[in-house]
Amino acid sequence: MTLQQRIYLIVTTVILLLIAMVSCLLVVAEFEISYFGYWVAGVTVVCLGVGLTLTGIATNRMSYMLGALETGLLNFKDNDFSISLPEDKSDELSRLAALYNQVGEILRKERQSIYQRELLLDKVIQSSPLSMILTDEKQRILYSNIAARHLFNNGRRCEGMNFHELIEVAPDTLIQAVKSGKDGLFSISGEDEDQTYHLSQSQFLLNAKHHRLYLFKQLTRELNRQEVAIWKKVIRVISHELNNSLAPISSMAHSGKLLAKGDKKLNLIFNTVQDRVKHLNGFIQGYAEFSRLPMPQLKPVKWQSYIDGLMQQKSFWLVGSLPEGEVDIDPAQMEQVLINLIKNATESGSAIDKITLQVVEHPKHFMLTLADRGSGMSDKVLESALLPFYSTKQTGTGLGLPLCREIVEAHEGKMAINNRDGGGLKVSIWLPK
């Protein structure tokens, strides 16, 4: 039986009781008139009338309060907690209304708290670089964050689309990784370098229905950083061992020179040993500088004054106009990058007037392009150019380009090297704004 039906039953019962009481009142009045007179009968009728009136008022208030309570509970069912009941008296109905209002206030606060947490969670998910796709049991996309939309649908919303149909145009490695149903790594070939991703996929029940969650995490930069960290550790170990050996060799060569002052052949031998030790020390210092590269100390720099200062040290041609704004960089470290690249361009055989630098401002980053018309690089050299110790020069240390990449990535940027059509090399650097 519903609450409304119960109210109708109560009201009907009260009305029937009132009818019965009125009937009894008439009988009593006739009896008292016969035996006690009109005065006593009048008092009795007045008392009973007052009682019936009070009973009617109480019944009306009870009916109103029960109706209001039913309306409020129906609103609770519809997730509307805005209605409150009057608490104008201190009887049982008012205490019931007060309890209802307390429950409504608690539910309002809980709903507001849940709403705020949902907003925060959605903000975190949408800002995450992790690409997230949630599908139902038919692979229909129910939710996707911004990173996933850019990865799969050129920034457009993916909700309502079939996920397997959406990735039909994706690289084969991605499709195979998704259809395997397991977690794993896969790589996608890019214009500048291969991009490595980790795919995590899990299935769970939500509202008694099967759902599947796909998480794509780009690992390219992390793997590059781990690779550089390993190289740095190797360099520190080798430098330590070589320094321990070179110090006594240098000391013994100096002592040998003092003992062999009159012997030209021995002096020549010891001088040669000292020269090679000195050269090896300088060689080790270059590697030690790479392994101990400090974090960049960023500060705002105006492009015009910064490039003007660079042009006083190295010769190159500026293409186009410079951005008017500022960029947050470590001036000394970034200057070292550009000087190294210009030096490499000069040593590649390019004419000075063919070495160009262009700075273009984009909404979220600056792009620096240093180009030359030198000998360029073969495909094999390009693959290894950014690895420490790799060099095609007889006296090279193999640290110039890896040091440049390390500095750029420490600025949260990216660096890429490509051959140019018609000969020469192009180095592109992306720096965040």
**pLDDT digits 0-9 by tens, 224-259:** 666 666 666 766 767 766 777 777 777 777 777 777
Helix 400-410 vs helix 220-259: angle between axes, to the nearest 10 degrees?
130
DSSP string, 81-107: --------SSSHHHHHHHHHHHHHHHH
What per-residue confidence (pLDDT) applies to 223?
57
Residue 22 in this model has a pLDDT that exceeds 70: no
Query: What's the whole-number mean pLDDT along residues 400-412?
Result: 83
Residue 34 in this model has a pLDDT that exceeds 80: no
Q: Please state, in angstroms and rounded to a whole number, the distance separating the CA atoms of residues 232 and 228.
A: 6
Contact 403, 290 (CB under 8 A): yes
Residue 48 in this model has a pLDDT that exceeds 60: no
Q: pLDDT tens, 106-136? A: 888 888 888 888 888 888 888 888 889 999 9
What per-residue confidence (pLDDT) applies to 41?
47
Q: What is the CATH number of domain 128-218?
A: 3.30.450.20
Residue with tokens 């090896």: 280
Q: pLDDT tens, 77-90? A: 777 777 777 776 66
Q: pLDDT tens, 171-229? A: 888 888 888 888 877 777 665 556 778 888 888 887 788 899 999 887 766 656 666 66
Q: pLDDT > 90: what percent of the chain?
A: 13
Instruction: Provide the H-helix boundaries in 184-330.
Output: 220-259, 264-291, 303-311
DSSP string, 309-344: HHHTTS--EEESPPPSSEEEE-HHHHHHHHHHHHHH
Residue with tokens 């000195």: 278
Q: pLDDT tens, 324-366? A: 888 999 988 899 899 989 998 988 888 888 999 999 998 889 9
Helices (H) and strands (E) counted in the chain, each on its own, are 12, 12
380-409 core/surface letters (b: 16 or more CB in 10 A; e: else): eeeeebbebebbeeeeebbbbbbbbbbbbe
What per-residue confidence (pLDDT) applies to 24?
60
Query: What CATH architecture does domain 299-432 belong to?
Result: 2-Layer Sandwich (3.30)
**Beta 317-319 vs 356-361: how paired, if at all?**
parallel
